[in-house]
Amino acid sequence: MVLNKVLKLFCLVKKKDTKKKGKSINPLCKASAPHPTVNVTNNSILDPVSTGTGTVQLVQKHVPECSSVISSMTMREYGSESDGYNLFNQFDVVQDFSDHYYASHSPGKTSKDWAKAIQNEWKLLQKDLPESIYVRVYEDRIDLLRAAIVGPAGTPYHDGLFFFDVRFPSEYPQCPPKVHYHSGGLRLNPNLYESGKVCLSLLNTWWGTGCEKWGKSKSTTLQVLVSIQGLVLNDKPYFNEPGNKNSANTAPGEKNSLAYNQTAFILSCRTMLYSLRNPPKHFECLVARHFHERERVILDACSAYISGTVVGSSSGDGTKYPRNNRTFADFKKSLEKYTELLRKDLATNHTRFLKVTRDSIASDEIAAVSSAADEIAVSACG
């Protein structure tokens, strides 16, 4: 099978363990150096342009009820916490990389150390991904990876899906991976450019010294993804901009931060529309399920913000914009427009979700028949 072939390449196939179910996998054939624990806290060294309030916020668990054929293979190999199509695996191996941003970039001349470093990344990602980050790696291009990050609660990015394409260059892990953000032509954060550039010290795309920069023996792709979610997509992204940091906790700075959050939420809504209309390959199920589950929450949040609730705050906590706020009037008008567009696209997504679910059930049934045939063939050969 596809997954077994790749795992054998990385020496990760394990004997079935009837006592332990889930997505974790056994250690490598030979024990490798342990990865550092991902721990993003206040005053984190991972991104010098963070606000200093970079604690990663817990997000509600999103468990899309659909899976690919390869996801089914993974579940049969390792077991799962739910049956059949009820799980969109957080980590999975897929084949088609044709729409990946770095698809045309050849991995070049690589080494065993390069392959082993990627092998360790796969293992760590499969074992330790937060519940709101999803990753796909590619059977025929182990230098490529795609991740989906759910916007954290309490930020202007809440309930959004943000996609990143990753490439491990031939010099990896001596140098950091290359990361491209699927921006849809929008700049909704100082660290995420319309061009797709991700500005982060851990990627050596922003200034930093010592352990603020990528380290070949201590830095990981998991750290990069968690840093993007917790430090870049934070509650006050206005202060990510170096020139704005000194105005934090001042009246003018906080006023500008509120206005920036309004703009960021509008752009986040536009990013939702972009994802709904152009879901990245291998994440169609996640997009359909995520927005099916969060439809009511997203539309309720839009309504609350239109009524004056501060972006990112709970509609029940009473936090409102000051009266006669000129920026709020412009924000309200723009948000009313995009709320209606979202309402229409989310309704269309409901139909798409039902179709994706039906197709996924059919795929699982085909995979189950194929697996049974393989087992019969093996038994006959034995």
- Residues recognised as catalytic: 199
Helix axes 69-78, 2-9, angle to 10 degrees: 60
Contact predicate 114/54, CB 8 Å: no
Distance of CA 310 to the CA centre of its chain: 25
3-state secondary structure (DSSP) of residue 137: strand
Q: Based on C-alpha coordinates, what's the Rg of the chain?
A: 22
Amino acid making up residue 325: N
CA–CA distance, 377 with 290 (Å, rounded to integer) = 39
What's the N-to-C CA distance of the chain in angstroms? Answer: 18
CA–CA distance, 372 with 1 (Å, rounded to integer) = 12
Matching residue, tokens 């199920």? 285
Give me 342's structure tokens: 């979202």
Please count the CA atoms within 13 angstroms of the CA of 374 that sit on its side-chain side.
10
3-state secondary structure (DSSP) of residue 85: coil
CA–CA distance, 123 with 30 (Å, rounded to integer) = 13
Please count the CA atoms within 13 angstroms of the CA of 168 that sit on its side-chain side.
27
CA–CA distance, 325 with 172 (Å, rounded to integer) = 50
CA–CA distance, 16 with 305 (Å, rounded to integer) = 50
Residue 333 buriedness (CB in 10 A; 0-12 / 13-18 / 19+): exposed
CA–CA distance, 223 with 201 (Å, rounded to integer) = 12
Please count the CA atoms within 13 angstroms of the CA of 317 that sit on its side-chain side.
11
